[in-house]
Structure 1
Amino acid sequence: MNMQGLEAILARLRAAEAAAGRAPGSVTLVAVSKVQPEERVRAVLLAGQRVFGENRVQEAQGRWTPLRSEFEGVRLHLIGPLQTNKARAAVELFDAIHTLDRPRLAETLARLAQERGASPEVFAQVNTGREPQKAGCLPEDADALVAQARSLDLPLVGLMCIPPEGEDPVPHFRLLREIAERNGLSGLSMGMSGDFEAAVAEGATHVRVGSAIFGERT
């Protein structure tokens, strides 16, 4: 089940790259393993996938501490909102954090990076749909957050967004790309199971796909 899901998504991703004139393998597939049962995650690992996305720090710690000792080369991306009090655990566990969305979190991540002498890659999350229930800075605040992250020497590599459900995602992908371009950022974490091909056409460098790989969550 899982292997077919992964193979089908990789085939669609390679086709989307080709259609957009992008190099094969230039878009990173982040397999969203949050709340998936371990046997499904293990099957996807055995099929060769190594980049995974998790929403919660503690859930990821419990799952990946043992799996990482068993499977080499796993890279973990935090794709859920990050509370400041979980930041230390997050920077120790994750290779990338997609959800920097406020100045205080930037300061905390920078302090931890100084202490450790290392930092995960960071994406700033932009709330392109201005949804009050969603994390992310507002589009008009993104430039200031990017500037702050850079002034703190955070390894800011790009931007992330989650378009509103039921809306055409393309204008949101384009807005994110415009903000990234004017700030000289190359990374674009955008696109999920239902719209990742459109995201690749608009320049996504990371797509976050869960149910289409693993099957619906139980």
Structure 2
Amino acid sequence: MRVVIAEDNVLLREGLLLLLASAGHEVVAVAGSGPEIMPALLEHRPDAAVLDVRMPPAFRDEGLRAALEARRQIPGLPVLVLSQYVEESYATELLAGGTSGVGYLLKDRIGRVDEFLDALERVAGGGTALDPEVVAEILIRRRDTPLDTLTPREREVLGLMAEGHDNATIARTLVVTERAVHKHIGNIFLKLNLPPSDSGHRRVLAVLAYLAHAPQD
């Protein structure tokens, strides 16, 4: 996989380079500031981009803005955004542009090597990868919506779906049968007024789209 990295922290950037190289991926360009991101992406057209949300010069949302612009200029570009904290508004804005090939992880997740690489590969393959803490924050902030009608178990299933997990993984995580997971998903779609589907990928995209566009407080 060919990857472009945008990260201003030298130690973290070097760590990402080593991590990706050890996993057999090629880092084709590195950006250390916001203005460097788009030229690198347009020149190399990578298989995926890993972008920090806050980059020089202003340390606000340069990486996020670059991610949104990159997906406009390079349709379908898989983007995995990294953030130091849970910034639900950033995740929502990124998801609003389409959920295929999108990820939003907290930087702490990088230390969990297998989880980070799995998320990157899932995003590069057109899937989704939302940090569990971001999913929890989204669910907590949605009030007076159909989400309130979900049972605690259905919320757990929805959260795992939003992270990008398939039915088998959800069943193992919750220590239930796949049949039980399928039933919970059916109930979730009924309560959220979303049409059920036999495709796990389509279900994840539909749920994420709902979360991205649901009204906030």
| TM-score normalized by the length of structure 1 | 0.34
Q: Which structure's residues are more often helix, by fraction?
A: 2
Q: Which has the higher contact order (CA 8 A, sep 6+)?
A: 1
